[in-house]
Chain A
Amino acid sequence: MSGDRERVLGSLRRALGRGRDAAADAAAHTAVVQRIASRQRGPIPARSQLDPVQQVELFETMAREQAATVVHVARGDGVPAAVADYLKAANLPPRVRVAPDAALTALPWDGQPLLEISTGRAAAEDPVSLTGAFAGIAETGTLMLRSGASHPTTLNFLPDVHIVVLRAADVVGPYEDVWDRLRAREGDGVMPRTVNFVTGPSRTADIEQTIQLGAHGPRRLHIILIDETDETP
């Protein structure tokens, strides 16, 4: 509706008194450019300002509070056994769709012959997915997952069980730290198609305000934390 573009913008400009004072218009323009460039932060909750060890503890506490489960492994090569143990203990199907992420596919899956491993995006019938995470946010126990060739978004939502591998070194304090990391790693202004902030498994309270897990997304969210800090999973 290109016809409406000028109509709507014209109406906005009239309401805001543009075009009357060139200096004021220029100042408004500068204010907008500067505001976006500054990435000015609002008040950051003190609870997220901790040392790295405490940050991981807070992340874990908050994630558990939202019904996620969390286990630790010392190193990345402990992930396959942790996956097998979790699925076995919860009596879940040992069929895992793994994100096409070299850091995950290169793990020693051979040591878990009972696990059926495949890679790629999620199919409707996949019971379990395994993905990495870009970061964990301690403030609310939230995972940040970004889409890309090594992380299809369907893995975050279609399977009943979502297992996420997170390096302790990737746990940050507040949400804002994630944006800085993303800009630093991907380049300023680059955004993935999808950024998912995930806090616990899917839920609804739409019937009589009763919270029920597993509305449309995963019924379970399991987080495997890699404690070692100088290694990629």
Chain B
Amino acid sequence: MSPPDRSFSENVRVAVADPQLRRAMHHVKEGFIGKRAKAAARLPEFETLRDAARDIKDHTLAHLDLYLERYEAEVTGRGGHVHWCAGPAEARAAILDICRQAGARTVTKGKSMIGEEIDINAHLEAAGMMPVETDLGEYIVQMRHERPSHIIAPAVHLTKDLIEADFRAQHRQFPADRSLSEVPELVDEARQVLRQRFLDADVGITGANFLVAETGSSIIVTNEGNGDLTQILPRVHIVIASLEKMVPTLEDAATILRVLARSATGQEFSTYTTVSTGPKRPDDVDGPEVYHVILLDNGRSDLLDGPFREILRCIRCGACINHCPVYHAIGGHAYGSVYPGPIGAVLTPALEGIEAAADLPEASTFCGRCEAVCPMRIPLPKLLRHWRERAFERRVTPKTVRAGIGVWAFFAQRPALYGFATGLAARLLGMLGGRRGRIARLPLAGGWTRFRDLPAPEGQTFRSQWATRGAARKGQRS
């Protein structure tokens, strides 16, 4: 499975030098940002809805134990089964057990990041079953033995010529000379192949965008309809969801749904929003006979108590990823984690430990766009800063960085010396820049100057300019 076991900095080096990835990532910048802005502008209540959505989740998280108990009672009362799972191993065991009991051979899957978190496909395969990803993007990355590079657009790192090559290699049942270079042809071919899988499936696994305490329902939001074919055709429907997907009522779900699609794809509403409650009823002529919910904790209950609670408001829309300049530059795989981008940089250290993921909170310019667009108003830069502090406290920050910060701290605690040293440095760098005002090479700044020139400082430091202006303002007032 990708991503490869390289260090983050090595992944970044490879990613920024990949011209195919550059072309593919161009679509993210061009597509998602404009569409979201347009959708948000079209709904005057959008900002009010963001506040309301945040408040719903804050209330739910503060009562999460109680809502989960109510939810469980509702699911059970309607003939479903709830499996509480502390971690990935327990969740996999529960799923495999259900699949074995159902005598499953083909297991279709709707898109689920929890599925990625527990790496369920590998375990289904090891148990002799065939997991089939049915979301088009997921189908493509599964075919390539890759992981999704984006939480809502799994194959966004690929261009259509690469996908065509994969389809030609894998779909041998079609004539070799068929035309397959255009998007409609690719979509149509996948539709044909997957249609049979839907019909063959013994078990269907979907994720959940929401779990509703009031009715014991799970809700999925899709555009393709694959999540629906996944859950209504097989005999068994398994929902895999983490604890924080909970909302109190159907009304609360409606409020958050209003910000979800607009933030994710810029749609007014996704094509399909499906509310599933228990197994089929006695007089239903279709639908699953058995309904299971895998409730995964995997670190969420720990996050509830402490500075990272706000990350549990996340509804996985991907807006922070779509707007992140670092993500635009390196794509999703370079992060080496299940969740990429700002949300991944906050969540991964929580799931895997800061020691294993100390690089990720560093992968931010703190430009603040992620927080500005987050529909749930999660203060992502603040949370990234918390992780950087923890990494420093636990001494997992690299030695050179620690030494650099140490030097800076020495000067910062001596303001006069700091002013003198930065003034001197500004003059020296200014001279180094020469008449062009740009520096092509500088010791310790190779990471910058390898790809572009460093602009040389012009004139005085910020602090001395600030002091001058402050004096001028005081002069004006008196």
Chain A contacts to B: CB under 8 angstroms:
1-2, 4-5, 7-9, 11-16, 18, 28-29, 31-32, 35-36, 39-47, 62, 65-66, 100, 120-122, 124, 140-142, 147-149, 152-154, 156-158, 174-176, 179, 189, 191-210, 212, 214-218
Docked-complex contact A216 and B194, CB < 8 angstroms: yes
Decide yes or no whether B1 CB sits under 8 A from chain A: no
Docked-complex contact B272 and A217, CB < 8 angstroms: yes
Of the listed stretches B169-177, B211-219, B405-413, B470-478, chain A binds B211-219
Interface 1/0 per residue, B71-101 and A, CB below 8 Å: 0000000100001111000100110000000
| Known pairs A36-B214, A45-B45; A4 contacts B228 (CB<8 A) | no
User: How far, in Å, is B78 (CB) from chain A's closest CB?
Assistant: 7
| Known pairs A16-B304, A179-B251, A217-B224; A1 contacts B275 (CB<8 A) | no
Of the listed stretches B153-161, B360-368, B376-384, B452-460, chain A binds B153-161
B65, B84, B199, B248: residue with the most chain A Cβ atoms closer than 10 Å: B65
CB-CB under 8 A from B268, the residues of chain A are 62, 65-66, 140-141, 199
CB-CB under 8 A from B257, the residues of chain A are 175
User: How far, in Å, is A60 (CB) from chain B's closest CB?
Assistant: 14
User: How far, in Å, is B322 (CB) from chain A's closest CB?
Assistant: 11
User: How far, in Å, is A15 (CB) from chain B's closest CB?
Assistant: 4
| Known pairs A152-B286, A202-B271, A207-B160; A15 contacts B304 (CB<8 A) | yes
User: How far, in Å, is A151 (CB) from chain B's closest CB?
Assistant: 9
| Known pairs A43-B49, A197-B273; A158 contacts B229 (CB<8 A) | yes
CA distance A124 to B196 in the complex (A): 9
A36-B249, A46-B44 given; name 10 further pairs at CB < 8 Å: A1-B93, A11-B86, A12-B243, A12-B301, A16-B65, A32-B213, A35-B249, A124-B199, A141-B268, A212-B184
B85, B140, B286: residue with the most chain A Cβ atoms closer than 10 Å: B286
CA distance A32 to B254 in the complex (A): 18
Can you list 8 A-B contacts (CB < 8 A)? Answer: A9-B68, A32-B213, A35-B249, A174-B254, A175-B257, A206-B156, A209-B32, A210-B183
Docked-complex contact B66 and A154, CB < 8 angstroms: no
Docked-complex contact A215 and B191, CB < 8 angstroms: yes
| Known pairs A35-B59, A43-B49, A147-B287; A205 contacts B199 (CB<8 A) | no
User: How far, in Å, is B207 (CB) from chain A's closest CB?
Assistant: 16
Docked-complex contact B85 and A1, CB < 8 angstroms: yes
Decide yes or no whether B284 CB sits under 8 A from chain A: yes
Docked-complex contact A41 and B251, CB < 8 angstroms: yes
Docked-complex contact A8 and B67, CB < 8 angstroms: no
Which A residue's beta carbon lies closest to that of B230? A216
CB-CB under 8 A from A218, the residues of chain B are 225
Decide yes or no whether B393 CB sits under 8 A from chain A: no
B155, B195, B274: residue with the most chain A Cβ atoms closer than 10 Å: B274
Docked-complex contact B229 and A216, CB < 8 angstroms: yes
Docked-complex contact B232 and A157, CB < 8 angstroms: yes
CB-CB under 8 A from B70, the residues of chain A are 32, 36
| Known pairs A14-B305, A212-B187; A147 contacts B284 (CB<8 A) | yes
Docked-complex contact B265 and A205, CB < 8 angstroms: yes
CB-CB under 8 A from A7, the residues of chain B are 84, 86
A122, A148, A176, A196: residue with the most chain B Cβ atoms closer than 10 Å: A196
CB-CB under 8 A from B272, the residues of chain A are 196-199, 202, 217
Docked-complex contact B251 and A42, CB < 8 angstroms: yes
Interface 1/0 per residue, B412-445 and A, CB below 8 Å: 0000000000000000000000000000000000
Interface 1/0 per residue, B336-370 and A, CB below 8 Å: 00000000000000000000000000000000000
User: How far, in Å, is B383 (CB) from chain A's closest CB?
Assistant: 17
Docked-complex contact A142 and B302, CB < 8 angstroms: no
Q: How many A-B residue pairs have CB under 8 A?
A: 278
CA distance A156 to B60 in the complex (A): 33
CB-CB under 8 A from B215, the residues of chain A are 189, 191
| Known pairs A40-B251, A42-B254; A205 contacts B287 (CB<8 A) | no
A2, A62, A120, A147: residue with the most chain B Cβ atoms closer than 10 Å: A147
Of the listed stretches B14-22, B114-122, B129-137, B313-321, chain A binds B129-137
208-267 of chain B: CB within 8 A of chain A: 213-217, 223-226, 228-229, 232-233, 243, 248-252, 254-255, 257-258, 265
Docked-complex contact B30 and A42, CB < 8 angstroms: no
Decide yes or no whether B143 CB sits under 8 A from chain A: no
CA distance A102 to B217 in the complex (A): 28
Docked-complex contact A207 and B52, CB < 8 angstroms: no
Docked-complex contact B254 and A194, CB < 8 angstroms: no
CB-CB under 8 A from A39, the residues of chain B are 214, 249-251
Decide yes or no whether B281 CB sits under 8 A from chain A: yes
Which among A16, A189, A203 is the interface contact of B305 at CB below 8 angstroms?
A16
User: How far, in Å, is B20 (CB) from chain A's closest CB?
Assistant: 12
CB-CB under 8 A from A14, the residues of chain B are 301, 305
CB-CB under 8 A from A142, the residues of chain B are 269, 273
Docked-complex contact A204 and B274, CB < 8 angstroms: no
Decide yes or no whether B107 CB sits under 8 A from chain A: no
Which among A1, A194, A195 is the interface contact of B232 at CB below 8 angstroms?
A194
